[in-house]
Amino acid sequence: MIKDFLILNCIGMDDKIGLKIDKNFYIHEFDKKVNNDQLVLNILNLCKKYKVNINNNFSVLVNNGPGSFSSLRTSLAVAKGIKISKKINLFGFKNSDLGQFTLVNIELLIKKNLLQKNLIKPLYLS
């Protein structure tokens, strides 16, 4: 069961990251399209702000699209980097399965088993 997680929802529009710790859920929304440096810095700042240490009890959920090529590649690369460096679980999900970016919808995504473990197949918009 996925308890604590970092979720990356960066597909080129309405980009957000979320952090669930215990029963608390924190969201950071981006004003404009995310670039590589912004995504990593925002994840670090979110973790620092809420005094979170990402360890092997964490999972990372990443949106596989469809979406912008560069946004998806960036979020997938960051998610895989966190997976390798922190030895955590990595899960992918389809944008259409999530709906609104709320904790209730994310928990439904997990409960309905709509996540793909370690099998990231991005869907790019052409």
pLDDT in tens, 10-23: 988 889 999 999 99
- Higher pLDDT: 6 or 119? It is 6
pLDDT at 59 (0 to 100): 94
Cα–Cα distance measured from residue 66 to residue 88, given in angstroms and rounded to the nearest whole number: 24
pLDDT in tens, 10-58: 988 889 999 999 999 999 998 776 666 789 999 999 999 999 989 888 9
Burial of 8 (0-12, 13-18, 19+ CB in 10 A): buried
Average pLDDT, the chain: 88
pLDDT at 33 (0 to 100): 65
Beta-strand runs (E) in 55-115: 58-63, 89-93
Answer positive or negative: Cα dihedral of 74, 79, 84, 86. Answer: positive
pLDDT at 32 (0 to 100): 72
Reduced to 3 states (helix: H, G, I; strand: E, B; else coil), residue 73 is: helix
pLDDT in tens, 81-114: 999 999 999 999 999 999 899 999 999 999 999 9
pLDDT at 94 (0 to 100): 92
pTM over 0.85: yes
pLDDT at 126 over 80: no
